[in-house]
Structures are given as structure tokens and as C-alpha cells.
Structure 1
């Protein structure tokens, strides 16, 4: 038995390290634009030249044509595109939104300015939706994904390991997530100022993100036991966190990592936080529904697991009782 455990440790640790390196290092090493939504506007002849130059980076951009600069600005504010190139006689103008992703804004400046410089045209850069001055590179917002994931994992695991079942477990998960949302908003919004927008909406996003993770973990634990806790924690940490695209953008990750990340709570939470904080809720429906489904399904699994456990205990036969000793004559 001891030799088997020793072999298991020797094999398991390198496997876990390999999985962690793959999950975290692979997306970081392959960061590049892949069908990144980008708008173009201006006279048809000038737009055609811009599109031709951008098409040289095959597969990098998904181009959207707009009638004029105002329409392109509206698309950026609605989070339909990350930026736009406005073609004109005096050279191109680049519209960016560093609040959507500072990394993408910098990439667009390099790509468009480099091509314009080669053509001998100056480039005017306008940040339509700028990131807050307290977090111009988006580092703090990206760093918030891991603590929220850890908070959700800890909440779900602790509620399960403490033996909370059914409605009590669900109430504990909701209460802990709500308080986590308030604390996170107080730190990120009130103190650090790295997110803006309505305070209560931001707190709601933080709380819903934590609940989605915690309910998912607790739901798997209620149905599968400790194996469910391990499975849920591994998915959130090894897939949800590195595939979230919070530090760049989902379209900057190798596929299908970017798509998978948006179907998991950390990625959906980061996208929803950007929409609520900087874009007045634009494009918030998708990630909000993703988080809601995770939370709802997780809580349903917790309630179901509690009901099944209670039925199993109720149906179990009572232990045999030893016959009472005969009374002394």
C-alpha cells in the first residue's frame, strides 16, 4: 500500500504541474488577434485600401464596415468592435477603447500606425472609451479574476465540507457571495477606483461571479462528493482562470480556449464587469446569462443532492437492537 501511494505521488505531481503549465503558459505564449472585431469607415476607395492592408494579416481581424465615424464610435461604445479605422484624405484616424482591453488598444495602434507609417500617412489615435487612470493597463481588473474564483471555490468547498445540505447550503452560498460582492466593490470601486460605473451594479457582478463559481463547486460536491469538489476546482482554476481573457481579450487567445473561457464563470464575470463598469451595460446580456445559469444549476444541484441524501437516510433500515436482558427472577 505504501509503495502504491509513493508511486501515485511521484506520478501525480508532475502531471498536475504539466496541466497547470499547459493551461497558463499555452494561452500566454500564443496571444495574438484571431478574428478580432474591428470597424472601418470612410470613403469607399479609402476603406478598400485600409481593408486590403489589414487583410495582409490573415485571420487577425474581422472587419465591419460603417457609414461614418459616428456609426463606428457607436459600435465601439456598444462593444460590437474593439476599435475602428476611419479612412480620410488626411490619413487614417484610429479609434480605440482601452477600457475594453488595453492590450488590444495597444495592438491596434501598432498595427495601424505601422501600416500608415509605411504608406507615409500620420495616424491620429482617439481613445473613445478610455480605461480609468488608476488602472490604465487593466492589470488590476485582470488580477481580480483569480481572487473571485478562489472565493467561489472556497465558499463551495467549505459549505460542503461543513456538512451543509439543501436549503441551508444554498442560503450560505448566496449570503457569502453577496457579502463578497460588497467587499470586492468597496475595494475595487470605492478604494482603488479601478472600476467605475454604478456601485451597486459592480457589487452585483462581483457577487454573481462568486455565486456562479461557488454554486457550481457545491453542486458538484453535493452530487459527486469530494471528487466533485476536486473536479470543479480544477475546471475553475485550470480552465476558467487562464482562459478568461481578462488580461487581454477572448479573441486574443488560441481557440477554442477563448470560447471556452467565456462559458465559464471567471471569463463571463470579467466580460460582464467591463460592460457594467465602462460601457453602461452594453453587451452584458450574454455573460450575465452565463453566470446566472451556472448559479441556478449549481443551486439546483445543491438542493437535489440534499434531497437525495435525506431520502437515503430516511430509507435506510434502523440498526438491529440487541434483545433486552431477561429480568432476574
Structure 2
């Protein structure tokens, strides 16, 4: 008997090896950030006279690499920085003692972390009063609904890209279908999140645009890779979004709480950019929305460009139709 593996046995071995590898990769991508959650250069403000804030700043900087300190002259400047999403919070030092400004809408987890950190650093165990400058909505005080929206948006984008390719649409028709599906999904998601559940409290149309752009970025990427690489492209696009984009988005906490480079890479992928953009338009009147909006736009443009390019390549490589042969006439 020959010891040479048959094609069927090779496929069985490949499947047996591939499944544990993918499982280990998924566990690493999801469990590693969760196990290493801690502040990494988290933007935090310190406001007040330099002589009064020097001691507070020094104590905060003792936690090396935890906080990125921003100095402000007074409480008004610190509040403006929080509303502009420059910092997550600020310690204001005044005559009545230290006071902590937070923004639970930016991240309830970060707001709680800052309360604990500032309370530990307070001299002599002094009480630190906390003021929530930009509070999370009453219907979603822990940010659970916004966090839960990241995965459905990613799945909607993957489904849009896959369905468009499976239905045989190519080129401009595929691009038009992707844009239309993303726009309708954005409208539907805004109707659910804002009009019905009330967990999004910003401008309705801005929220719908952000949600639709998030779906388009994923859908166009999946469809573009499929147009260039075939079925493998669909798997690659969906795998990157689900294995890295979703757990590294920082939606449940903040990008600065994830270990590097997960926090940085996550904001370059559609799910992370979508979560940041949605917070900005829903709770901060669009502050700091330019960066994530451009990230999603680039993914969308590159994906749609790949869809058009794939159709052009397919036309060029398609074999020309052979002319019909005319039967010879009998003499």
C-alpha cells in the first residue's frame, strides 16, 4: 500500500490543524486586550494655578505611562477640553479643594477609573467631588447599548459585501448597491438607537450618516477584496474585521485602555473608527469626529475602488467569444 496521503486526507489534516489555529488566534485577539486593560497615556487635564496643581500633577505622573497630562489655567478651559474630546477628564484644584471633571458619555469605564485614581492620589484622603460634564444618556448610563452596536454594524457590512458579490453584481452596479444598502442600514439603525431606544442623543441625521458610513466601510472592503481575490477575499475581509477590528475597537472602554499596538490599530480599522465617530456625533456635537470619519471614508473609497477595479480586470481577462463556424457547403 502507498503511504502517500490522498487529497482527501490532506484536506482532513488541513482542517484539523486550521481550526485550533483560528481558535487560538481568536482567543488571543479577544482575551489579550481584556487581560491587559489599563490606562496607557490616557489624556487627563489638570486645571488651576501652577503652584497648586504641581503636587497633583506630580502624584499623577508617578504612575509612569498611565496618563498624558494637559495643563489648563482654569475650570472653564478644562471643561471646554472635555467637551472637545481632547481629554477624558480633568482635576481642578481650587480653594475648596480638588474637584474631578469627567465625561461618562466618552467612556463610563474611564470615568470610574479616574475617580479611583484621583481619590487614591488625593492628599490626606481628602474627598474629591466629581462633576459629570458630559453625562451618558439615562437610557444607557453604562454605555452598554453603544458598545453592543459595534458588532451588528460589522456584521451588517460583512453581509452587504457578501450578498452583493453572491448576487453577481459587479462594477458600478455593485458599488451602487453597497452605497444604497449602507444608507438604508444607517437610517434603520438611527431609528432604533435614537428614535426608539433613546440611547443616541445627538443630531439624528448625523447619527444616521455615521452608522451608514460604518457599514459602507466594512461592506466595501469585503466586496472589494472579493472582487480582487475571489472567495478568499471575502474570508480575509470578514476575518480582519471580526478577529481584530471588533475586539480592538475599544468601544466598551477606550482605545487608551487597550495594550499597544491594539489600541492604535483598532482605531485604524472600521469598527474602532465607527465607535469613536458614533460617540462624537451622538454625545459631543461632532467634536473630534474628523479623524474617524476620514478613516471610514478611506476604507469606503478604497473598497469601492477595488470593486470597480475587479470588474475591469474581469472584463480584460474574460476569453473572447469564438466566432461561429459556418458549415462547409457541399460541392
Deviation at 1:281, TM superposition (A): 0.6
Question: Which one of 64, 77, 86 corresponds to residue 83 of structure 2?
Answer: 77
1:180 counterpart residue number: 185
2:3 counterpart residue number: none
Matched-pair contact (CA < 8 Å) for 2:56–2:121:
no
Do structure 1's residue 273 and structure 2's residue 284 form an aligned pair? no
Deviation at 1:319, TM superposition (A): 3.6
Query: What is the distance in 2 between the residues matched to 1:70 and 1:204?
Result: 32
Query: What is the distance in 2 between the residues matched to 1:84 and 1:121?
Result: 17
Report the secondary structure of 1:92's partner residue. Answer: strand
Do structure 1's residue 168 and structure 2's residue 189 form an aligned pair? no
Deviation at 1:323, TM superposition (A): 6.1
Matched-pair contact (CA < 8 Å) for 2:42–2:257:
yes
Deviation sequence 1:214-238 (CA, Å, 0-9, x none): 0011111111111111111111111
Deviation at 1:324, TM superposition (A): 2.6
Query: What is the distance in 2 between the residues matched to 1:27 and 1:325?
Result: 74
Two-structure CA RMSD over aligned residues (Å): 1.4
1:24 counterpart residue number: 30
Do structure 1's residue 152 and structure 2's residue 176 form an aligned pair? no
Matches within 5 A, 1:4-43: 4-43=10-49
Deviation at 1:206, TM superposition (A): 0.4
1:92 counterpart residue number: 98
1:103 counterpart residue number: 109
Query: What is the distance in 2 between the residues matched to 1:186 and 1:43?
Result: 47
Do structure 1's residue 318 and structure 2's residue 324 form an aligned pair? no
2:119 counterpart residue number: 113
Deviation sequence 1:273-301 (CA, Å, 0-9, x none): 01101111100110011011111111111
Matches within 5 A, 1:124-163: 124-163=129-168
Do structure 1's residue 220 and structure 2's residue 220 form an aligned pair? no
Question: Which one of 58, 61, 65 corresponds to residue 55 of structure 1?
Answer: 61
Report the secondary structure of 2:260's partner residue. Answer: coil
1:207 counterpart residue number: 212
Query: What is the distance in 2 between the residues matched to 1:66 and 1:155?
Result: 46
Query: What is the distance in 1 between the residues matched to 2:37 and 2:315?
Result: 49
Matched-pair contact (CA < 8 Å) for 2:119–2:125:
no
Do structure 1's residue 2 and structure 2's residue 8 form an aligned pair? yes
Deviation sequence 1:104-135 (CA, Å, 0-9, x none): 0000011111222x623111100000000111
Deviation at 1:60, TM superposition (A): 0.3
Query: What is the distance in 1 between the residues matched to 2:125 and 2:226?
Result: 62
Deviation at 1:88, TM superposition (A): 2.2
Give unmatched runs, 5+ long, in structure 1. none
Matched-pair contact (CA < 8 Å) for 2:150–2:246:
yes
Q: What is the TM-score when the length of structure 2 is the normalising length? A: 0.95
Deviation at 1:325, TM superposition (A): 6.6
Query: What is the distance in 2 between the residues matched to 1:61 and 1:5?
Result: 51
Q: What is the TM-score when the length of structure 1 is the normalising length? A: 0.96
Query: What is the distance in 2 between the residues matched to 1:106 and 1:126?
Result: 12
2:4 counterpart residue number: none
